[in-house]
Every structure is written in structure tokens, then in C-alpha cells.
Amino acid sequence: MSRNDPIDISMPLSSVMPIWPGSPGFSRSMLLHPDQGDAVVNSAVSMDIHVGTHVDAPSHHDPGAATVDELPLSSFIGPATVVQIDETCGVVTGDVLESAVGPSAPARLLLRTANSERQILKDPEFQPDFVALDPSGAAWVAAHGVLLIGIDYLSIQQFSSSNDTHKMLFDAGVVVLEGLDLADCAPGDYTLVSLPIHLPGAEASPVRAILLPNEAT
Ligand SMILES: [Zn+2]
């Protein structure tokens, strides 16, 4: 891979991947196959749309709020910064962000935490002690005009926490990407290219997300 090749930060969708407790996960079944005498291969997928790399829409927590097709596509594409959060940090607070990011926040902020060091996105067993953003972190993100926040495990908020983190981000119009594989991605500035699929009325969508390294100057 040359240093200017895109970096795929999406999780491969399969029946062997970490999923939220209670989720049916992902499966793919064959509809047609030449082995069965069919002319072509054709398969069907079944999945919870919060499986793998995905975006949550505000309607995930408030059925009357914006759905995934109503999110601004411009938030999903453009300059993005992968910020390393200290490996010893178990929760990303506003103070943690202030020291990791500095006074001016990037438009798109991707948090590379101890989740990446632990490679827990590659472990099929769900790990409830993942690092995530607390409400003070969400307040910091909202106050700094961030368009999009991304995290390297399956939820932006801690397991078994209140939904305040999600709600504060949604109230501020921040797009939330979850399940980003940042393990092989160095901290720094990139161009993010990510898009939800077009699912009118849905509360989430799978996303294919890549980072384009910025041209060396
Ligand atoms: Zn979700």
C-alpha cells in the first residue's frame, strides 16, 4: 500500500463480528447460485442497521426527530482529524478532549482510543468496557462546532449509561459515526469519505468509511 492509498476504516460485515447485546447481527443467504442450476449468483442480507460501521440519526432516540435520509450529506465528506486519546483514559470527558484536541476543534473529529489498542472491534465477543464519550465530552463537541464525531467501538456513549451523550450530540446537529476501525490509522489530518445508504425514514444506516491521506507537502 502506498502512503497515499485510501485507508478503509469500515468493519467487514459478517456473521462473525462484535454486535450489541440482543442484536440479531448480520447474515447473508444465497437466493440463486450456479451450483443449484441458476444462471447467476444472487444473495440477500439480513441485518440490524446498527451493526458494523454505521451512522445514528436523531430518530434513534426520538422517533419524531430527523431520520438518516435527512442528515446533511456535506457532514460526511471532508477534512477530518484522527485524535489519539490517551490509552489510560477510560472515558472521554470534555477535559480529555480539551487537552487532546486543543482549543480549536476540527470539523470532523475521529477519536482513536484504547479501543483501537485493544483491537476490540476485531473481537467477535462484545466488550462492554469500551471507551466512549461522556456528557461533558458531548457538551465540548457541541460547543466547538464539530460537524461529525466518530468513535472506534460500537457506541459513542458508554455501555449502560444514560442517553444524554447521544441526545446532546443530536441536539447540536452533530453526525455520529460508530464502529470505526482506527487500529491501523495514525493520528493526524485526512479527508473523510463516508456515506449512509439511502434509507428513507430509518434511524441509522450502515456506512462505508475511508480516509484519504492528505498529500505530503
Ligand atoms: Zn447506532
**Mean pLDDT score, 185-205:** 97
pTM above 0.75, yes or no: yes
The confidence score (pLDDT) of residue 10 equals 98
How many angstroms separate the alpha carbon of residue 3 from the centre of ligand 1?
31
Q: Tell me, what amino acid is at 99?
A: S
How many angstroms separate the alpha carbon of residue 40 from the centre of ligand 1?
34
What pLDDT digit, counting tens, does each position of 3-20 carry? 789 999 999 999 999 999
What pLDDT digit, counting tens, does each position of 77-99 carry? 999 999 999 999 999 999 999 99
Q: Tell me the catalytic residues.
A: 60
The confidence score (pLDDT) of residue 21 equals 96
How many angstroms separate the alpha carbon of residue 204 from the centre of ligand 1?
6
- Beta strands 148-151 and 26-32 are unpaired
The confidence score (pLDDT) of residue 67 equals 98
Residue with cell 447540536: 172
How many angstroms separate the alpha carbon of residue 64 from the centre of ligand 1?
17
Q: Tell me, what amino acid is at 80?
A: A
Q: Report whether pLDDT(30) > 90.
A: yes
Q: Report whether pLDDT(206) > 70.
A: yes
How many angstroms separate the alpha carbon of residue 166 from the centre of ligand 1?
10
